[in-house]
Amino acid sequence: MRFDIITLFPELFAPLLTSGITRRAYESGLVDVRLWNPRDHAEGNYRRVDDRTFGGGPGMVMLAEPLFHCLTAIRADRQDLAPTPLVLFSPIGQTLNHKAVAQWSDSAGAVLLCGRYEGVDQRFIDQYVGQQISLGDFVLSGGEIAAMALLDAVARLQPGVLNDEGSHQLDSFNPALDGLLDTPHYTRPEVWQGHAVPTALTSGHHARIERWRREQSLHLTAMHRPELLVQARLAGKLSREDETFLKEDQHASPP
């Protein structure tokens, strides 16, 4: 898959593409990332990419024309038979979640537009943006961090990127966990500052371990994201044993 990033600050992406486990996805070409600066497609001596907003007010707005020429160059370079979807990171967009990430990880990619300043000329958005994505109810200085979040989430789902192929299957929100939160994790030493690892995890009894993990997943989800339990219940993902545990656990404090 290929993601083309329209950004005024391409240098911000260097650490993402060259560090950590997910760099394997970029170095191997599993996730092909290409950076495009709209300033390279602006006209005039100053290569201007923004201007004051009509109607007055603070801040600047990204010009439509350089973005149009940048997008045209990207689509010509991709040589797509069908127009590549253009995604804008924006507060009004749909909140990114695991289901959307999984869909992107199995796609041909997209063009990602990282807005800056007060935003992008609405005429360009109306004409060319096919989807808007948000990370949540807060505002960033630009779309670069949101684009990196999407790229990282997509990259780790690619085969061969993580050391353990099944690792992401046990992530929070994954269908393998019925969309619930992940369980707590522990490692050596067995006792740290007087606190021991739960005995179930050191019992060597696989069925007991799996049941403990399931119950902890249910417990954490009930405490912190109860709406996920509702979704799992409606989808028929909770067993009678799960429901019994939740009924008995409803007044418990976090582990």
DSSP line for 122-151: HHHHHHH--EEEESSSS--SBSHHHHHHHH
Task: Please write the tens of the pLDDT for every residue from 95-116.
Answer: 999 999 999 999 999 999 999 9
User: Over the chain, what is the mean pLDDT?
Assistant: 92
**pLDDT for position 197:** 97
Task: With cut-offs at 50, 70 and 90, classify the pLDDT of residue 254.
Answer: very low
Per-residue pLDDT averaged across 191-203, rounded? Answer: 97
Task: Classify domain 171-249 by CATH number.
Answer: 1.10.1270.20
Per-residue pLDDT averaged across 43-47, rounded? Answer: 90
Q: Report the distance separating Cα 243 and Cα 241, nearest Å.
A: 5
Residue type, 99: K
Domain-wise residue ranges, the chain:
2-155, 171-249
Q: Which two tokens stand for residue 144?
A: 């670069």
Per-residue pLDDT averaged across 163-174, rounded? Answer: 57
Q: Report the distance separating Cα 227 and Cα 62, nearest Å.
A: 38
Candidate from 1-15, 77-91, 126-140, 164-178 with smallest mean pLDDT: 164-178
Q: Which two tokens stand for residue 99?
A: 């289901």
Q: Please, which residues have CB within 8 angstroms of residue 154's CB and are 6 or more apart in sequence? A: 1, 3, 31, 101, 104, 105
Q: Report the distance separating Cα 190 and Cα 197, nearest Å.
A: 6
pLDDT at residue 60 tops 80: yes
**CATH architecture of the domain with range 2-155:** 3-Layer(aba) Sandwich (3.40)
Catalytic residues: 91, 118, 156, 171
More confident call, 65 vs 166: 65
**pLDDT for position 37:** 98
The number of helices, as runs of H, and strands, as runs of E, in the chain is: 9, 9
Q: Which two tokens stand for residue 68?
A: 């149009």
Distance of CA 22 to the CA centre of its chain: 13
pLDDT at residue 148 tops 60: yes
Per-residue pLDDT averaged across 156-168, rounded? Answer: 73
pLDDT at residue 253 tops 50: no
49, 41 contact by CB (below 8 A): no
pLDDT at residue 171 tops 80: no
Task: With cut-offs at 50, 70 and 90, classify the pLDDT of residue 228.
Answer: very high
**pLDDT for position 163:** 59
**pLDDT for position 44:** 87
By three-state DSSP, how is residue 191 classified? strand
More confident call, 163 vs 62: 62
**pLDDT for position 52:** 96
Q: Report the distance separating Cα 170 and Cα 126, nearest Å.
A: 39
238, 177 contact by CB (below 8 A): no
pLDDT at residue 251 tops 60: no
Distance of CA 147 to the CA centre of its chain: 8
